[in-house]
Structure 1
C-alpha cells in the first residue's frame, strides 16, 4: 500500500465520522453557503496578478514538518499582497497537519479564490468545502473514477464552486476530462512515491484542451521555470513548499515575484 492508498483509506473513515457530527443541513446553514464565490478563471488570468496559487501547508508525508510556526492569516495575507492569483489551503489533518478552520480563517482576511486542498472522495466534502468558505475544489484523478469526477464536478458547479482536476499522466487526463471542469492541473509530483519532475507538465501541456485553464503543480522553485511554463501555455502555478519552508512565506513569495 503506497502513501496515496493510506491517505484515501484514512479519509474514508474521517468522512464517515464527519457525517455523524455535522449533517448536510448543518453545513447548508453556514454563513458562507449562500455567499457568491470568487472566479478562479478571472483571478488566474487577471493581468495584475501573478498566476501563482500560493499554498499554506504545515507538513507533507514526504518532507515531514515544513513550517508549523506561522499563522494561516499572516501567511495568506502575505501571499495575497505579493500578487497571488489564488490561495491553496491544506485541510487534511492526519497527513498534512491541516485544519478545516485554516481555510475559514484565510477566508476571513482574503478576497481572492480559495482552493480547498484535500483528498475529495465523497460528495459530503464538496458541500463542506462550500460551507467553510472555499471557492475551488480539487479532484484527484488518481483516486476517482470518471463517474465520480462527473458527479462531483456537477455538484460543485451547482454550488458555484470552480473545479480543478489534478492528473499525473496522459491516461488519467484522457479518461477524466468533462465539461464541468474549469482547470486541469498537472501534478509534477508522483503521489505514489513523491518524486518530482516538472517535465510532466511539459509532456502533458499539448494534450490539455484549450477550453481549460492549465495549472502546473509542485516542483516549482525558480522564477525561470514559471516563465518557461507560461510559454508552454500554462496559466497557473501552484507553489507551496518553496515558500512555506521559509520563516516568512509571504516575504519569500514577494522576493520570488520580483524575479518574474
Structure 2
C-alpha cells in the first residue's frame, strides 16, 4: 500500500518540474533575521515555533481562509521564536505566496516547511524570505540530504533536519546538523506519539552544541512540560494554534521553564 509520504513525494516531483518554469518570488523586504539556533540554545524557556497551517492530509481543512499576515503578526506579538509556513499546496494548501506574505510582515526567523527534494525549492524559499528550511531524513537519500544541506548552508540559510527514529537521528548527527527536529507524527501512518521525543532524547548528544525540537502533537502545558523534561529546546506547533481562539494565551502556556544543558 502506498503511504501518505510516498504520495506527497510523488506529487513533489511534478511540482519541482513546474517550479523550474517559474520566476523566483521576490520578497518586498530584505530583513536581517536572528539565528534560530542562537535563539534556542541556552534559553531557559521552552520556545515556540508557531506554524501557519491551512490543512493537512490527516486532519483535512484546518483554517483554509487564514490571513497569513494577520496570523504571523499574532504569532510574533505573542512571543513565538519563529514562524513556520507550510508551502506545500496539494496536501496542505500552502504556497510560497504565503511564505512571502509572512516574510514581509514579521522580522523573526521564518521556516519554510515543505518536502524539499531539489535545490530549486531552496532557491524559492530563500527568495520568498525564509531564513530556515526543513529537510526530512525520511524523504531523502543520504547523498541527496547531504547535498541539499550543503546547498542551503552555502546560501546563508539555517537547516532544521527532521528525524523520526534512531537511525535517522544518526544520519542527522553525521551531517553535523545543529537544529534537529523529532517529529512525533509517523509520516507513513500519520499517527502521533510524544514518546517519540522521549525515546530519541535518550540518544541525543545534549553535551554538544545542538538543539532538540519536538514537532507535532503539542496541545497543552502538560505536553510542553513533558517534552521540556526530555530536553527539548522548542516545540513546533501548528494545528493547536490554528484552532485556538486565544493565540497569545496558547503560546504563553507552552513557554514552560526548562533545564539548560551547556557543557
Q: TM-score, normalised by structure 2?
A: 0.89
| Distance in 2 (alpha carbons) for counterparts of 1:221 and 1:159 | 34
Q: Provide closer, same or farther for how the CA distance between residues 258 and 35 of structure 1 changes in structure 2, counting only shifts above 3 A.
A: closer
| Distance in 2 (alpha carbons) for counterparts of 1:155 and 1:189 | 27
Matched residue, 2:181: 185
Q: Provide closer, same or farther for how the CA distance between residues 217 and 150 of structure 1 changes in structure 2, counting only shifts above 3 A.
A: same
Please state whether the residue corresponding to 2:71 is helix, strand or coil: helix
Q: Alpha-carbon deviations, 1:18-61, whole Å to 9, x = none?
A: 10223xxx56xx45797644311122247597511010001000
| Distance in 2 (alpha carbons) for counterparts of 1:72 and 1:252 | 19
Q: CA deviation at 1:104?
A: 0.8
CA-based RMSD of the aligned residues comes to 2.2
> Aligned pair 1:98/2:85, yes or no?
no
Find 1:117's aligned residue among 97, 113, 119.
113
Q: Contact 1:33–1:131 at 8 Å: present in 2 too? A: no
> Aligned pair 1:206/2:202, yes or no?
yes
| Distance in 1 (alpha carbons) for counterparts of 2:76 and 2:137 | 29
Please state whether the residue corresponding to 1:215 is helix, strand or coil: strand
> Aligned pair 1:143/2:144, yes or no?
no
Matched residue, 2:260: none
Matched residue, 2:22: 21
Q: CA deviation at 1:228?
A: 2.5
Matched residue, 2:55: 59
> Aligned pair 1:70/2:73, yes or no?
no
Please state whether the residue corresponding to 1:166 is helix, strand or coil: strand
Q: CA deviation at 1:74?
A: 1.0
Matched residue, 2:152: 156
Matched residue, 2:250: 253
1:2-13, aligned counterparts within 5 Å?
Answer: 2-13=3-14
Q: CA deviation at 1:178?
A: 3.4
Q: Provide closer, same or farther for how the CA distance between residues 209 and 149 of structure 1 changes in structure 2, counting only shifts above 3 A.
A: farther
Higher relative contact order (CA 8 A, sep 6+): 2
**Alignment coverage as a number of residue pairs:** 254
Q: Alpha-carbon deviations, 1:152-194, whole Å to 9, x = none?
A: 1111111111111111111111133334522110000001111
**After TM superposition, where is structure 1 displaced by more than 6 Å over at least 4 residues in a row?**
none
* Structure 1 unaligned residues grouped into runs of 5+: none
> Aligned pair 1:221/2:219, yes or no?
yes
Please state whether the residue corresponding to 1:237 is helix, strand or coil: strand
Higher mean C-alpha displacement, 128-137 vs 39-48? 39-48
| Distance in 2 (alpha carbons) for counterparts of 1:49 and 1:230 | 9
Q: Provide closer, same or farther for how the CA distance between residues 252 and 63 of structure 1 changes in structure 2, counting only shifts above 3 A.
A: farther
